[in-house]
């Protein structure tokens, strides 16, 4: 795992979730202002947790199948997957400290 944020698609989603024991997925869209607000936080955390937690971004406009599968109706929605299962779900642009505490709960 690197600190790089993985671009997720309908095609690579399942494989990526299974390959990473802990991954935070940011469900977003280009037109979503709160998504743009939280993007730098996701980038920062991906660097801070490099090698321990994977981070991915899924554009809901381009990958509607996965967004629908996980019931994403509001964005940004951040879902933390642990061993392929949903461990936590965060909706909205939340402060970095909040996201950080949620990740630490599952490490």
Q: Which of 32, 42, 53, 99 is catalytic?
A: 32
The catalytic position among 6, 22, 35, 54 is 35
Task: Clarify whether 32 is annotated catalytic.
Answer: yes
Strands across the sheet containing 77-82: 6-8, 54-59, 22-28, 77-82, 85-91
Q: Is the pTM of this model over 0.75?
A: yes
Task: Tell me the pLDDT tens digit for each residue of 19-72.
Answer: 999 999 999 999 999 999 999 999 999 999 999 999 999 999 999 999 999 999
Q: Please say if 35 is a catalytic residue.
A: yes
Q: Could you give the CA distance from residue 47 to residue 10 in angstroms, rounded to a whole number?
A: 25
């Amino acid at each position: 795992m690197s600190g790089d944020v993985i671009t997720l698609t309908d095609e690579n989603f399942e494989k990526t979730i299974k390959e990473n024991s802990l991954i935070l997925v940011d469900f977003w869209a280009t037109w979503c202002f709160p998504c743009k607000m939280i993007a730098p936080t996701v980038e920062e955390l991906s660097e801070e947790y490099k090698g321990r937690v994977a981070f991915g971004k899924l554009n809901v406009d381009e990958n509607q199948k996965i967004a629908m599968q996980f019931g994403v109706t509001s964005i940004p929605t951040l879902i933390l997957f642990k061993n392929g299962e949903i461990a936590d779900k965060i909706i909205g642009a939340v402060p970095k400290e909040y996201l950080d505490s949620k990740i630490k709960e599952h490490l």
